[in-house]
Chains A and B, each alone.
Chain A
Amino acid sequence: GAGVSQTPSNKVTEKGKYVELRCDPISGHTALYWYRQSLGQGPEFLIYFQGTGAADDSGLPNDRFFAVRPEGSVSTLKIQRTERGDSAVYLCASSLSGSGETQYFGPGTRLLVL
């Protein structure tokens, strides 16, 4: 597949549980971004990776959210002690070099916290 892929496509969990969301960027893209989108809103930035390191995590809402990209390719967004307010679509995007202008988005993971 040539595009960004995300798994799972849908995730239903209970309040207080831990979830992991996976993103597989376009091969060769060094920059990876996580966004969160609520209904009727634009994507909201969470964290940006350049290679293996988190170059900008200023969008993470609190310390329950954490993301890794250990080998500079696949990334995992981890949410601890989920809350109902975490329900949203979590989007991953990648770009070739971190120039930022053209970001290629995955289809997202729809997270529902009951």
Chain B
Amino acid sequence: GQSLEQPSEVTAVEGAIVQINCTYQTSGFYGLSWYQQHDGGAPTFLSYNALDGLEETGRFSSFLSRSDSYGYLLLQELQMKDSASYFCAVRSDTGRRALTFGSGTRLQVQP
């Protein structure tokens, strides 16, 4: 089976930096993805890590440590529009294309 754990809720202020952690347990591992979802909206792809290290895309960065089965999403210079739910997701093996999602972290950005 597969399971992912991430905090249910995080609160931060505008302009700050926030880190959302994700730990996973899978029978195989092919990569860790992050998706953003605003209330009532569709999940939107943010980033993907297949190898250890940091991937940076603008204000968002994502990190992966395969040996620790751990990753995080780092959001810098927080803006009010970043208030949303953030999901980590794994693809567990090459034969299975579907993603297994965590339960999501609800980020609330305060002024």
- A interface with B by C-beta (< 8 Å): 4, 31, 33, 40-45, 48, 50, 55-56, 59, 91, 93, 95, 98-108
Contact = CB atoms under 8 A, between A and B. Distances in A.
Given A31-B97, A56-B98, A100 B43 contact: no
Contacts of B31: 101
Can you list the 10 inter-chain pairs with the closest CB atoms, starting with the nearest? A42-B101, A45-B98, A105-B42, A100-B97, A101-B48, A105-B43, A42-B87, A107-B42, A102-B45, A100-B91
A103 B42 contact: no
A98 B42 contact: no
A44 B48 CA distance: 19
A91 B43 contact: yes
Interface size class on chain B is: 20 to 34
B83 interface: no
A56 B96 contact: yes
Contacts of A107: 41-42
Given A56-B97, A98-B97, A100-B97, A42 B45 contact: no
A91 B42 contact: yes
Nearest to B97: A100
Given A33-B97, A40-B104, A104-B45, 16 more contacts: A33-B98, A42-B101, A42-B103, A43-B87, A45-B100, A56-B97, A56-B98, A91-B42, A91-B43, A99-B97, A100-B97, A101-B33, A101-B48, A101-B50, A102-B48, A105-B44
Nearest to A93: B43
Nearest to B100: A45
B89 interface: yes
A90 to B, nearest CB: 12
Given A42-B87, A56-B96, A103 B101 contact: no
Most B Cβ at <10 Å: residue of A42, A50, A98, A99: A42
7 contacts: A4-B42, A50-B97, A56-B97, A93-B43, A95-B97, A98-B97, A100-B99
B102 A42 contact: yes
